[in-house]
Structure 1
Amino acid sequence: MTLFNAGAFHAAHEAWEEAWRHEHGPRRLLLQGLILAAAGWLKRDAGNTRGAWTLFSRALERMESLAPLCEGVDVDRLRRDITRWRAGEGADRPLLVWPLDASGGER
């Protein structure tokens, strides 16, 4: 998560991909979504809007069935960040908020 939040999207993608291979269930879907989101922001930063759009669409599909909070990650916030960028409303980098405490607040 730290790599992603620092804008090191390629490094985050690589780290999550290794973990993803060994996971199942919601954690696997979360990792797939994060991998695709990181790849999307890489494309966006490279000026490849079409590629970013495609990867973000796939990320949203993977995360669609996840709870708003999954494995301590604020999935809803990430989905909102992606949706806002796709709507032309968000140019800033995303921020993964984690871990969250039981009340939904940041620790």
Structure 2
Amino acid sequence: MDAHLRAGIAIYNAGRFHAAHDAWEDRWLALDAGEDERFLHGLIQFTAAVHHATGRNWAGARGLAESAREYLADLPGEYRGVNVSGVRASLAILHADPESIERAPPLGLTYGGQRLALDDLDFAASAIAAEVLAEEGEYDHATVERAVEYAREDIAAGRETSPFVTLVLDFVRDPENRGIVHQRLTEHTERRAARDRDVDGLFEP
């Protein structure tokens, strides 16, 4: 859960409030009832409340803030490194006055006391963030997914600085040039796939 949690937090802190939940949703759906399930459910609803508030859907923001508070109510003030007490306080404000989002920026999520940015993510969390950002940003998700697979293969083979590893990290960390990085990922992925097909062909009867 840790890498998914950090990826979603960094995406949220980058202002991609709607996209953040995609880093958590599959993990949440796979959980049995318990603290972790309530924690992720509450975070997902928190980011949704912020998303609706920034879109001036006051009723939607208020309703989600109320339900998110219920999910997070019995958790410790810091849970899995996240500032849950701050989230609860922010939800109370959103529930009482969702228009407050226009007078002050949304709460930043912290992990281990640090407000995570996309630049702070290691490769494991960046790989998750890359796929989320690809889908949210209307990039080719299949290309990014395959690039992540190649990067993981390279890391397992001891090639931690391979072009795939570097480009996946750049795709996450450099939003201004994300389109250019995606194009380079596409080119590298196509070349790698062609090379793999050529190698496979050597062993065909």
Query: Given the two structures, how large is their TM-score scaled by the length of structure 1?
Result: 0.85
Gaps of 5+ in 1: 101-105
Query: 1:61 corresponds to which residue?
Result: 70
Gaps of 5+ in 2: 1-8, 116-205
Q: Which has the higher helix share?
A: 2
> CA–CA distance in 2 between the matches of 1:77 and 1:37?
11
Task: Name the stretch that deviates more: 63-72 or 79-88.
Answer: 79-88
Instruction: Report the Cα offset of residue 4 of structure 1.
Output: 1.2
Query: 2:42 corresponds to which residue?
Result: 33
Query: 2:87 corresponds to which residue?
Result: 78
Q: 1:97 aligns with which of 102, 105, 110?
A: 110
Report whether the alignment pairs 1:21 with 2:9. Answer: no
How many residue pairs are counted as aligned between the two chains? 102
> CA–CA distance in 2 between the matches of 1:97 and 1:39?
17
> CA–CA distance in 1 between the matches of 2:30 and 2:96?
34
Q: 1:12 aligns with which of 20, 26, 37?
A: 20
Query: Given the two structures, how large is their TM-score scaled by the length of structure 2?
Result: 0.46
Task: Confirm or deny: 8 A CA contact 2:61 2:94 kept in the other structure.
Answer: no
> CA–CA distance in 2 between the matches of 1:6 and 1:36?
17
Give the greater-gyration-radius structure (CA).
2
- Percent identity, aligned pairs only, is 32
Q: CA RMSD in A?
A: 1.8
Query: 1:103 corresponds to which residue?
Result: none
> CA–CA distance in 1 between the matches of 2:83 and 2:100?
18
